[in-house]
Structure formats: structure tokens, C-alpha cells
């Protein structure tokens, strides 16, 4: 399976500001030496040596993840503002997929706000299947497109819509097994595990990790242990996580502890705090790597979630 990120910010879209862009360009220009410009190789080497917080961005869209199964069928988790770009991309590359399986972790606005801008929804012939353990899913999705919040209602969607309330049983979509767990978050939230061809992927955003998640119960062990890749909420620094106890998010250090505890070799830090600029988010990555080195018997690969980043399992 392939996992691709279309939106990684928490809470609200966070586009880069003109003044931020200007100061980055100024910082890059200041680093240039005449010898950096003499050949294509020297220019490439110069660009490769620029710190990622100046030359990259994690992106400003809110939660949306695309998962492609072996047969190229498409699962989407959450319809934050990132799903708009995904929809544009699907049409632009004339994607063969006509059926989209969209799972919702919960219905906070940053996780549904992009749905009215998902272009395939307005085209006949597409099928949108929505999934959540929550019974009021359809109501929650329709209401954000009611007057006065949006100019057209969900009735203008020309795609076939199907709403599925999922239960405790493991679901099967084209050979992939999908299970879920409740996580601590105001109003409730669910993490999802997708397993295909012996590989497991867990998506756990908007999660305030608690002692319960570390408990070695049969349910936790079955769900978490030995998963190949986890994308996990790590919105805060440790100090802020203590200050914002009960706000429903985790610190990067707890996310690292969690992956280490459950022997999950690849961990992706996710749901970046909208107040943080790229520089601070990259600093969090470095701190997480530093912290992990001090955990006994831990051997994790730690990544930052960024728009367009892809993993193949």
C-alpha cells in the first residue's frame, strides 16, 4: 500500500505569509558565495545544503491522507482542506479510480472543511463511500453545507453518496482489513489501522495519549504492536502538552515513547500546531530524534508529515 499526505496541519489552514517567504529568500541569498554559482553542480550542492526550514514547508492544509491499495483502489482518511488538492489531482491525472472510501476520524471542522471543495463529488459517475463509527456522520457532513455556511447544499453533489456506520467488526475493502480504536479527544475521535499484504498502517490524529494507550492489554497489543508505520498526533512540545492537558493532542516526546513502546519502526509526526512556523516544526523533528536516541533499545525512523510526502509499505 501507498500512503500520501495532502494535509498535515492541525486546527486551521495555515498558508505561508508573504513576509515569511521574503525573509526566507533573504536568508538564502545571504548564504550564497561566488563559488556556489560557477556550475550546475555547485548550484545543486548549494541548494542541497540549505536547511529544510528555509527551502521546504510542511504545507498549510488540514488533515487529509490518501491510501492506495495494491489494486490502486483509494481510501481517504479525513476531508480537511487537503482533500481539495487531492480532488484536483485525481481529475488532472485522469485517475481510473471512480470509487472513494472516505473514513472520518471525527467531525471537528479541520477534518471535514475540504469536502465541499472535493471536485469529484460534483461529477456523475463517481461514488463516495463515507465511513465512521458515529451514527450522526451524515448529519454532520450535510450541515456544514447548509445556509448560511455554504452557497450550495450537499444535494448538488452529483456523485453517488453512501454512508456507512461501522461497528466493531474488522472491515474488508478490496483485500485490505480496516479496524479502529477510540482515542482521547474532546467529543471523541477514532484511529484507524489498515492492513494489506502483511503490512500495517495506523493513522492516529487528534489523540491525547494516556496511560491507557500504553497498557499492555490484549486489545492494545493486537492493534498497535509491530505495526509498520504510524502517523501520530504530536502537535505540542512537552511544555505545551502539560499546559494544554485535556485539549486532546500529544507532545512529540510522548508520540516517540508510544512508537517505541509498541515497536513501531516508522513514526510520522502529524497535526502540526498552526502557530508554529516551519522552523519550529523542523526543530521539533530534531528534538524528537534527539529524545529517541536516549530511549533504551529504541531504533525508530522519525519523519515529519509534509504535504506530498509518500510512503510505500
List strand residue ranges (DSSP E) for the chain, in order.
2-7, 64-68, 74-77, 99-103, 127-132, 160-165, 171-173, 176-183, 189-196, 199-204, 229-233, 266-270, 301-304, 310-312
Q: How many CB atoms lie within 10 A of CB 104?
A: 25
Q: What is the spatial distance between Cα 86 and Cα 68, in angstroms, rounded to a whole number?
A: 13
DSSP assignment of 248-297 equals S--BHHHHHHHHHHTT-SEEEEESB-TT--HHHHHHHHHHHHHHHHTSTT
Interface residues with Zn ion (CB under 5 A)?
Answer: 10, 108, 110, 206
Q: What is the spatial distance between Cα 142 and Cα 144, in angstroms, rounded to a whole number?
A: 6
Select 114 or 120, whichever has its Cβ closest to Zn ion.
114
Select 107 or 157, whichever has its Cβ closest to Zn ion.
107
Please provide the size of the chain in residues. 313
Select 162 or 182, whichever has its Cβ closest to Zn ion.
182
Select 61 or 73, whichever has its Cβ closest to Zn ion.
61
Select 105 or 260, whichever has its Cβ closest to Zn ion.
105
What contacts 4, CB < 8 A, 6 or more positions away? Answer: 65, 66, 67, 68, 308, 309, 310, 311
Instruction: Count how many Cα atoms sit within 13 Å of the Cα of residue 112 in the half-sphere of its side chain.
Output: 18
Sheet with 127-132, side-by-side order of all strands: 160-165, 127-132, 99-103, 74-77, 64-68, 2-7, 310-312
Min CB(96)–Zn ion separation in Å:
31
Min CB(106)–Zn ion separation in Å:
6
Min CB(143)–Zn ion separation in Å:
17
Min CB(94)–Zn ion separation in Å:
32
Is residue 135 classed exposed, middle or buried when 0-12, 13-18 and 19+ CB atoms within 10 A define those classes?
Answer: exposed
Is residue 247 classed exposed, middle or buried when 0-12, 13-18 and 19+ CB atoms within 10 A define those classes?
Answer: middle
Select 24 or 108, whichever has its Cβ closest to Zn ion.
108
Q: Where are the alpha helices (DSSP H) in 151-194?
A: none
Select 10 or 87, whichever has its Cβ closest to Zn ion.
10
Select 207 or 227, whichever has its Cβ closest to Zn ion.
207
Closest residue to Zn ion, based on beta-carbon distance: 108
Amino acid at each position: 500500500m501507498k500512503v500520501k499526505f495532502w494535509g498535515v496541519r492541525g486546527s486551521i489552514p495555515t498558508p505561508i505569509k508573504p513576509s515569511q517567504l521574503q525573509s526566507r529568500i533573504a536568508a538564502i541569498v545571504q548564504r550564497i558565495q561566488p563559488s556556489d554559482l560557477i556550475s550546475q553542480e555547485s548550484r545543486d550542492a548549494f541548494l542541497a545544503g540549505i536547511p529544510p526550514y528555509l527551502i521546504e514547508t510542511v504545507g498549510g492544509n488540514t488533515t487529509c491522507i490518501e491510501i492506495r491499495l495494491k489494486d490502486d483502489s483509494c481510501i481517504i482518511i479525513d476531508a480537511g482542506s487537503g482533500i481539495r488538492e487531492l480532488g484536483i489531482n485525481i481529475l488532472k491525472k485522469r485517475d481510473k479510480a471512480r470509487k472513494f472510501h472516505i473514513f472520518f476520524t471525527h467531525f471537528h471542522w479541520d477534518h471535514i472543511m475540504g469536502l465541499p471543495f472535493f471536485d469529484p463529488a460534483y461529477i456523475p459517475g463517481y461514488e463516495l463511500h463515507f465511513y465512521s463509527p458515529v451514527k450522526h456522520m451524515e448529519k454532520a457532513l450535510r450541515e456544514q453545507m447548509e445556509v448560511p455556511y455554504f452557497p450550495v447544499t450537499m444535494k448538488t453533489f452529483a456523485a453517488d453518496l453512501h454512508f456507512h456506520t461501522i461497528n466493531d467488526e474488522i472491515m474488508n475493502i478490496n483485500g485490505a482489513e480496516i479496524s479502529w480504536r477510540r482515542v482521547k479527544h474532546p467529543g471523541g475521535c477514532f484511529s484507524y489501522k489498515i492492513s494489506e499484504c502483511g503490512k500495517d498502517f495506523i493513522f492516529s490524529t487528534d489523540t491525547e495519549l494516556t496511560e491507557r494507550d500504553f497498557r499492555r492489554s490484549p486489545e492494545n497489543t493486537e492493534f498497535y504492536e509491530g505495526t509498520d508505520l504510524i502517523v501520530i498526533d504530536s502537535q505540542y512540545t512537552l511544555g505545551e502538552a502539560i499546559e494544554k492537558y485535556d485539549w486532546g493532542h500529544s507532545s512529540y516526546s510522548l508520540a516517540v515513547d508510544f512508537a517505541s513502546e509498541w515497536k513501531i519502526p516508522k513514526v510520522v509526526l502529524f497535526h502540526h500546531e498552526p502557530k508554529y512556523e516551519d522552523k519550529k516544526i523542523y526543530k521539533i523533528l530534531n528534538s524528537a530524534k534527539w529524545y529517541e536516541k536516549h530511549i533504551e533499545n529504541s531504533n525508530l525512523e522519525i519523519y515529519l508529515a509534509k504535504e506530498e510526502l509518500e510512503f510505500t509499505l
